[in-house]
Amino acid sequence: MSRLRISGPCRLRGELQVHGAKNSALPLLAASLLCTSPCVLQNCPHLSDVDTAVTILRELGCRASFEDGVVAVDPRPASACAIPDVLMREMRSSIIFLGAIIGRAGEASLSFPGGCELGPRPIDLHLQALRRLGVNIAENHGRLTCTAPNGLQGADITLAFPSVGATENILIAASVARGTTVLENAAREPEIEDLAGFLNACGARIVGAGTGTVCIEGVPKLSGCTYRVIPDRIAAATYLAAAAATGSRLTLLDVVPRHLLPVLPVFEEAGCRILTQGSTLSIVPPKMLNRVHSIRTMPYPGFPTDAQAPIMAMTTVAHGTSIFVENIFEERYKHVGELLRMGANIRVDGRVAVVEGVPGLSGAPVEAADLRGGAALVIAGLVAQGQTVVSGVHHIDRGYERIEQALQGLEADVERIPDTED
């Protein structure tokens, strides 16, 4: 285990290449299990969650390698249909393998997933949808046993909530089901479009991805392909927040500006100028950040819940009062207590957090309780006067590729230290 030591305040300078999207790479890796020939995924981020996904593929019998941002998967030897509990517990999104395993083997056995503790994230929508596709599901002491005795069958499915994970499981499973599946109230995130793009490149027939209605015409089999993962919009938003909070001009390379449209108005309201040219985006912050009147997390194209914590860290040093309403997860304010240790002024009442901007923060020892909250603490450490030591870095490593090296490349005073070092 390790920690991050940040000596602030820091001013960021230069350009940063945004790594591939964690939330896209994971379902693409799961979907590769359905292919009848090798797949090559380019621009895969080097994250612990990606390492876990590759390990799961190997556990299922695939041959898989991961080097220099490229994951090569040969699914042809795969024969297992069960994922060990220890791997399921390592990441919440491991449930995305369920539809792929059933689609390949006609059965699956796995436990409920683990990952960040953000309050209840039930998988009921996943299971209800798979039942509609002809899957029999039994639960016994926290383990799911799934069978499709008559194979997967296309169906009309309407989600009660536009769940990203459920939408992904449906797209993967339905792509090799007999008949046509029409999915209503589908999630619309860019990662859904990327998954459909990958599946279509493998021979699937999916239309409407990125809208509320997706039509999947099942095909007998999928072939492999070479595919490039989209840039990580949440990582991009995080580094933009770090630049704004520290009063730094920063240029991000290899982004898709339209994927950032839900968050860019927040930076503009805070007084930042956003400049885009092709796949390059620059931020020019004001001398003093303005408050952000109200941020409500919503499904895409609303403001993403994953960007809430990093943006909150930015607003702790803005002029005025900013209000956050968390509508997705019940326990996504765990970073607040640690920000208070650093001198922030934040009040939480249920799903609402009120941030009163302060002139500055002070370095302190803090602990990341989850992925995005950990990123918020790093941003606060960049702003704070003195030394901040962030523990719980394994959470951050799930979603940010070598975050200390990325910040060092921007001239920030950040280093990774072992737990035994003071």
Q: Annotation-wise, does 122 bind a ligand?
A: yes
**H-helix or E-strand containing 346?**
strand 345-349
Close Cβ partners of 18 (under 8 Å, ≥ 6 residues apart): 231, 232, 235, 236, 239, 252, 253, 254, 255
Q: What is the torsion angle, in degrees rounded to the nearest 10, for the CA atoms of residue 280, residue 415, residue 339 and residue 395?
A: 80
Q: Annotation-wise, does 295 bind a ligand?
A: no
Active-site position among 35, 116, 202, 272 = 116
**H-helix or E-strand containing 50?**
helix 48-59
Q: Annotation-wise, does 92 bind a ligand?
A: yes
H helix intervals, 292-399: 308-315, 335-341, 371-383, 393-396
- Give the three-class secondary structure for 381: helix
Structure tokens at 221: 């089999």
- Give the three-class secondary structure for 219: coil
Tell me the one-letter amino acid at 247: G
- Tell me which long-range contacts 61-67 makes (C-beta under 8 A, separation of at least 24): 62/32, 62/33
Q: Annotation-wise, does 234 bind a ligand?
A: no
* Active-site annotation holds for 116: yes
Q: Annotation-wise, does 398 bind a ligand?
A: no
DSSP one-letter string for 68-112: TTEEEEE-TT----B--HHHHTT-GGGGGHHHHHHHHHSEEEEEP
Cis peptide before 301 (omega within 30 of 0): yes
Q: Annotation-wise, does 125 bind a ligand?
A: yes
The answer to whether 389 touches 5, Cβ cutoff 8 Å, is yes
Q: Annotation-wise, does 221 bind a ligand?
A: no
Selection from 27, 70, 30, 17 nearest residue 46 by Cα: 70
Q: Annotation-wise, does 397 bind a ligand?
A: no
Instruction: Round to whole Å and give the CA distance between 301 and 143.
Output: 34
Annotated binding-site ranges: 22-23, 92, 121-125, 306, 328
Annotated binding-site ranges for phosphoenolpyruvate: 22-23
Annotated binding-site ranges for UDP-N-acetyl-alpha-D-glucosamine: 92, 121-125, 306, 328
Give the residue numbers annotated as catalytic, written as ranges. 116
